[in-house]
Structure 1
Amino acid sequence: MNVCQTMETEEDLLTCLSIRLYHPQQHRKGLFSLLPLGNRSKHPADESLRFGRDAQSCTFALVDSRVSRKQFALQAYRIPETSEMQFILQNLSQTVKVTVNGSTLDFLEKTDLPRKALVRFTEYEMLIVREEGEAKQSFEVELEILSVPPSRETGPCEHCAMPIMDTGRPPLSELRVPSETDETLFLT
């Protein structure tokens, strides 16, 4: 038998983490300059992906002094007897908290990522969407910059869009509160 036929091969369809980033001052020169934007990159499933400020120790580095050297890590895992790849997010920062879909993670705390997760730290928002694949040894990551915060989802039409927070409710600042009226005006 040929050696190539006996070697374990990676399936063609890889799980992909689509990570869409937003920062209110992203127009600042170089904020995302170290990220491989718009291209899918392949990563071994047994290695953590680290996000943070330190380009030496992080897979994805952000050029921002307010971000921790190591902000958070994503680690792939599989549930026994399934082919579906899952991910855990762990906060690696002692000073900056990370929230995942509204739940706050302190230093070294971790949580399972659902198929779609809104991750926040400092002023950053990241929408992480897991696209299923069959591979067990590696996965892909695709990074993209958003022009609006991912916490704002639009409705069926642009002019009637209402921001939706990860809690499912509009932010208090966006709620329209009826103005006070003089009840005596309505009495006849």
Structure 2
Amino acid sequence: MEVSQTVETEELMTCLQIQLYHPQQASRALYCMLPLDTRHKHQAEDPMRLGRDAQACTFALADPRVSRKQLSLQAYRTSNSPDIIFSVQNLSQKNFFRSRHWVRVTVNGSELGFLERAELPDKALIRFGEYEMLIRRENGEARGSFEVEFGVLAVPPSREMGMPSMVPVVDTGSDLSTNDIPPLMSHGPMEMDEIIMYCASFID
């Protein structure tokens, strides 16, 4: 049986394996809008956004505490490598306030400010709020597209990578421990200036 010489060989696509952990994930309700354990093809030129807004983002988390647009993953190439590599960009202007601390987006322990980018190694740990997101990259040959596969981890990936547990970063010069201040997270994340004005009203 002769094989046609005109048939193109199917190229193996690069795959991003994104595994999530959250301490309140027992029911998996937080992930109800994610296509878990299924590979999805994504065009390499299009940023892949993650947030709570299913219309503005490629993939969404069912969590009002997550920003409308939280993160963006972008594929790109360099002149000295044939592989597709990825960067992550923080799209959130909002900060999480928990236990008198600010919790910001970190990539392998380094803070990522609003609109800042960081190149992702083959294995990276991204944390925001109480979420831990472990990303692994499997290299492929295709250049125009890649695959994404979401999964859920039973234990925090920071434990596997030997990193400290989620410890919020202190970023306040005043003591906000008074019991008279109601929780700031009741309506989801707040902008920085909104939180400052909110706290100032109680100090006055």
Pick one of 99, 120, 128 that aligns with 1:121: 128
1:130-185 alpha-carbon deviations (Å, 9 max, x no partner): 011111000001100011000112xxxxxxxxx821xxxx56x9xxxxxxxxxxxx
Aligned equivalents of 1:146, 1:102: Cα separation in 2: 19
Match of 1:137 in 2: 144
SS in 2 for 1:31: helix
Superposition pairs for residues 169-188 of structure 1, below 5 Å? none
CA contact (8 A) 1:11 1:134 kept: no
Per-residue CA distance 1:103-141 (angstroms, 9 max, x = gap): 101110111001100000000001000011111000001
- Give ranges in structure 2 of 5+ residues lacking alignment: 1-5, 96-103, 168-204
Letter in 1 for 2:145: S
Superposed displacement of residue 27, structure 1: 1.7
Q: Which residue of 2 aligns with 1:159?
A: none
In 2, the alpha carbon distance for the partners of 1:29 and 1:120 equals 18
Task: Find the residue that maps to 2:157 and give its secondary structure.
Answer: coil
C-alpha deviations, 1:17-62, integer Å up to 9, x for none? Answer: 0111000001246210000000000000000000000000111100
Residue in structure 2 matched with residue 148 of structure 1 by the alignment: 155
> Once the two structures are aligned, what percentage of the paired residues are identical?
59
Partner residue, 2:178:
none
Task: State the AA in 2 paired with 1:63.
Answer: A
**Pair 1:29–1:100, CA change in 2 (3 A):** closer
Check whether the contact 1:10–1:137 (CA below 8 A) recurs between aligned residues. Answer: no
Aligned-residue RMSD, C-alpha: 2.1
Aligned length, in residue pairs: 154
Q: Which runs of 5+ in 1 are unaligned?
A: 154-162, 174-188
SS at match of 2:94: coil
- After superposition, residues 38-53 of structure 1 pair within 5 angstroms as 38-53=37-52
Aligned-partner Cα distance in 2 for 1:56–1:119: 23
Shift in alpha-carbon separation, 1:164–1:54, aligned structure 2, 3 A = same
